[in-house]
Amino acid sequence: MAETAEKLFNAPLTALTEEEGMFQAMAREFAANEIRPHVEEMDREGIFNHDLLEKFFSQGFMGIEVAEAYGGSGGSFFLAILAIEEFSRVDASAGVVVDVQNTLVNNALQKWGTEAQKEEFLPRLVRDTVGAYALSEPKSGSDAFALVTRAREDGNDFVLNGRKLWITNAKEAGLFILFANINPQAGYRGITAFLIESGTSGFTVGKKEDKLGIRASSTCELILEDCRVPKANVLGEIGKGYKVAIETLNEGRIGIAAQMVGVARGALENAVRYAQERQQFGKPIAEFQAIQFQLARLATDVEAARLLAYNAARLKDAGMPFLKEAAMAKYFCSQVAERVASECVEVYGGYGFTRDYPAEKFLRDSKIGKIYEGTSFMQLQTIAKIILGK
């Protein structure tokens, strides 16, 4: 019974090409064999396993879309979404490491970088360098362009001062895409993106947050004190950082949607197995209609969320407008993940409230989906503006 349920949930819910199917199977097998053994310890200690991170690089998961000329796989955005989903099904922290690397850092550098920047940084991001995306600040969350980090021109450099907060992958990262304002009087039109390497003078990775969920994924503050960055490390045009940020985050939200689909799938698959094993009143609880209907509703929600995420990714790969679909996917998938994970705790009963079973971790990991890379309210605002023609 449990094996049948596993095959059902592993079946693709939309047509995949042969290449996509093979990649999905490889990512699923890697997650089961390489990630799963470390999940409990990484969550407990709040530290991502370094050897596992090295395997992400060696297996090509950190440069899925990067062109072969720079050492990448030259794959599609959709392949990256498949990897994020499969990794998150086992561990959401693993999913977000791959997500930020592929959908934010690599994508931004490939789209906005100069040829010299691509030649210098992309091979490293594929081979051994973790990337991070530094936009948020203490007073700049949903109002992302209210940032106060400043950059002033000084000869061939810019000198940056300020503080960033909630930066994913910061502890492990060797390269940061960081946003600062070079002309506060111009408002968001002064925002500029910079490429900053770890170890740069005046650049410090500060406090690591002790989080509710995705605990193995590092989330840290960044401190810039007269941090000197060469003008050659400006990503995109000066004053066009807002455009870099907006366009990159639109793609990144599809990655978060895929992460939440993975979390929901992982929670549900575990609950289905448990319901077939747990005996009450002389039979498995899966034989009670109340449990059957509960699982059926959740399975339907997961399937709908998965298709929304896949559709947004397909549109992006096809070069078609996808802003509304990305916002819908991010909003709906995060809602589904939290609801599914919560109800799956209830399927376990008292055991679901303990750390002896994985249900509580899926619930903790699901909460972040409504918050980062644009809150649920911001996604609703985006959707409303589009459908109302605002």
Three-class SS of residue 259? helix
- What CA–CA distance (Å, rounded) separates 308 from 306? 5
- What CA–CA distance (Å, rounded) separates 166 from 171? 11
> Which residue in the block uniquely carries the two structure tokens 């949607």?
257
Alpha helices in 289-322 (DSSP H): 289-317
Are residues 83 and 63 in contact, defined by beta-carbon separation less than 8 angstroms? no
User: Catalytic residue at 373?
Assistant: yes
Are residues 230 and 174 in contact, defined by beta-carbon separation less than 8 angstroms? no
Contacts of 117 (CB under 8 A, 6+ apart): 109, 195, 232, 233, 235
Are residues 212 and 363 in contact, defined by beta-carbon separation less than 8 angstroms? no
Catalytic residue among 34, 86, 251, 373: 373
- What CA–CA distance (Å, rounded) separates 349 from 363? 14
Are residues 105 and 144 in contact, defined by beta-carbon separation less than 8 angstroms? no
Which of 199, 250, 203 is closest to 227 using CA atoms? 203
- Hey, which residues does 151 pair with through a beta bridge? 160
Instruction: Supply the residues annotated as catalytic.
Output: 373
